[in-house]
Amino acid sequence: MYYIGIDLGTSAVKLLLMEGNGKIVRVASREYPLYFPHPGWSQQNPEDWYKQSMDGLCELLDGIDKSQVAGISFGGQMHGLVVLDENDQVIRPAILWNDGRTFRENDYLNQVIGKEKLSEYTANISFTGFTAPKILWIKNNEPENFARIKKIMLPKDYLAYRLTGVHCTDVSDASGMLLFDVKNRCWSEEMCEICGVHKEQLAKVYESYETVGTLLPEIAQKLGLPETVKVAAGAGDNAAAAVGTGTVGNGQCNISLGTSGTIFISSDQFAVDKNNALHAFAHADGHYHLMGCMLSAASCNKWWMDEIIGTKDYGAEQTAITKLGENHVYFLPYLMGERSPHNDPDARGTFIGMTMDTSRADMTQAVLEGVAFALRDSFEIAKSLGIQIDRTKICGGGAKSLLWKKIIANVLNVKVDVPETEEGPGYGAAILAAVACSEYASVEEAAQKLLKVVDTVEPDAELAAKYEERYAQFKQIYPTVKELFGKLK
């Protein structure tokens, strides 16, 4: 049988066709526009998602025995707000995860309602990108549109609705709305009241691997698929990517070294750190996960190489780095502010420790190490909750660098596993579809059977000890300069 994973990203939708044994048959993608009507705003037209997804599905299925397609599921950009009227028509463009217009509503939630109450109700505090402050923004700035809202949805869930006619969401994506009681896996009545939302306006919540429905007859006809094709709820992009790398089950870890960086830790038990420095979300495997998100990761190296040094030969720059664990230069990787664990939009990128004998290689090394040290900040918070981690998966563009993987392995003092497949959310979504269709009994069983590790970078005890000393110095820098950042406007 075939299973389809749809990764609804910010710039494009990527579609993947997988056989039941995990083999990827074909991948297709379609781009759609982003709109920036005001500085700091970021919107998209949900109809573009649907049209491009349907077009991509036609390409994906061309020449395939369509009778063998059993299931479809999703991974998707999180936090975006889609609002529908009583006729299920989109009321206004979707407000995306990277939209910054809600700073006043965000401050209201964190300062007036209070972080303690938010954490009690949802296990998280508010960020400008979350969904709840977007709802408040519409309430405050577009009252006519707010009055018309019949359904509140997330991006991938709108796509699921268009395919099935079912208003649905999953536990992992709902966790990022600040409307969801993560511990009890249900909508928070308190947060609904705070945001002026009725629970009837919210979609039904499913586990990520549960079937929400089957294809509408008209959709099945357009695609040439059986009406019996099951559609599973899917997951938010990070949770779907975690499934796609096998990061499921207790104590599993994945580091994504992309434009932004995440450290994703799956857990059987619900846990929240006392400062809400990490996101505490429900996971697509039926349990929970903690996630630290840094806003600039591989993008720090890209900035250093492209804009400062002026080279595209990243590998050549890294060959000059030979003395790991001995660098006296440090770099704070906060080029776009920082999310986890500091939650400080005023934080900035900072070099410190240069002397007259500092070399170009020292500066390059400091950038790579700075990202690794910042990942460890979140790693340490997870360990403080009693979560023991001795190895991690790694994915993303930065993971192509063997040197960077070696640095991360020794800074965190864990084994770093490189998975065979790097299709991320789309592959994870296809796996969720396979579980929904009973190809596998559980997400964990599917991960165990399908995900393979092709390389492991192990820490060296002597080098890890050197980095332990360097990290002790690194973690003192941000608290020391924090007060300056707010003045550097």
Q: Are residues 270 and 183 in the same domain?
A: no
Catalytic, out of 181, 237, 273, 285: 237
Q: Which of 205, 233, 261 is the last residue of a domain?
A: 233
Q: Are residues 216 and 333 in the same domain?
A: no
Q: Are residues 458 and 321 in the same domain?
A: yes
Q: How confident is the model at residue 11 (pLDDT cuts 50, 70, 90)?
A: confident
Q: Are residues 353 and 297 in the same domain?
A: yes
On whether residue 111 sits in a domain, the answer given is: yes
Task: Please determine, for residue 212, whether its predicted confidence score (pLDDT) is greater than 90.
Answer: yes
Task: Please determine, for residue 339, whether its predicted confidence score (pLDDT) is greater than 90.
Answer: no
Q: Are residues 219 and 164 in the same domain?
A: yes
Q: Are residues 24 and 142 in the same domain?
A: yes
Q: Are residues 204 and 260 in the same domain?
A: no
Q: Are residues 68 and 212 in the same domain?
A: yes
Q: Are residues 267 and 341 in the same domain?
A: yes
Bridge partner list, 418:
455
Q: Are residues 282 and 154 in the same domain?
A: no
On whether residue 281 sits in a domain, the answer given is: yes
What mean pLDDT is predicted for residues 355-384? 96
Pairing state between β 168-170 and 204-206: parallel
What digits encode the pLDDT tens for the residues 42-60?
A: 999 999 999 999 999 999 9
Q: Which of 233, 265, 283 is the last residue of a domain?
A: 233
Are 127 and 174 contacting, i.e. CB atoms less than 8 angstroms apart? Answer: no
**CATH code, 304:** 3.30.420.40
On whether residue 303 sits in a domain, the answer given is: yes
On whether residue 25 sits in a domain, the answer given is: yes
On whether residue 223 sits in a domain, the answer given is: yes
Per the annotation, does 79 bind a ligand? yes
Domain count, the chain: 2
* 85 catalytic residue (yes or no): no
Q: Which domain holds residue 329?
A: 247-420+441-489
Task: Please determine, for residue 146, whether its predicted confidence score (pLDDT) is greater than 90.
Answer: yes
Task: Please determine, for residue 423, whether its predicted confidence score (pLDDT) is greater than 90.
Answer: no
What digits encode the pLDDT tens for the residues 386-395?
A: 888 999 999 8
Q: What angle do CA 469, 380, 485 make, to 5 degrees?
A: 80
Q: How confident is the model at residue 343 (pLDDT cuts 50, 70, 90)?
A: confident
The confidence score (pLDDT) of residue 21 equals 95
Distance CA 489, CA 487 (A): 6
On whether residue 432 sits in a domain, the answer given is: no
Q: Which of 175, 201, 233 is the last residue of a domain?
A: 233
On whether residue 428 sits in a domain, the answer given is: no
Answer with the residue of higher pLDDT: 33 or 422: 33
Q: How confident is the model at residue 424 (pLDDT cuts 50, 70, 90)?
A: confident
What digits encode the pLDDT tens for the residues 186-203?
A: 999 999 999 999 999 999
Per the annotation, does 354 bind a ligand? no
Q: How confident is the model at residue 411 (pLDDT cuts 50, 70, 90)?
A: very high
Q: Are residues 341 and 393 in the same domain?
A: yes
On whether residue 425 sits in a domain, the answer given is: no
Task: Please determine, for residue 422, whether its predicted confidence score (pLDDT) is greater than 80.
Answer: no
Task: Please determine, for residue 385, whether its predicted confidence score (pLDDT) is greater than 90.
Answer: no
Q: Are residues 218 and 285 in the same domain?
A: no
What digits encode the pLDDT tens for the residues 104-143?
A: 999 999 999 999 999 999 999 998 889 999 999 999 999 9
Burial class from Cβ neighbours inside 10 Å (0-12, 13-18, 19+) for residue 87 reads: exposed
What digits encode the pLDDT tens for the residues 312-322?
A: 999 999 999 99
Query: How high does pLDDT run on average in the chain?
Result: 95
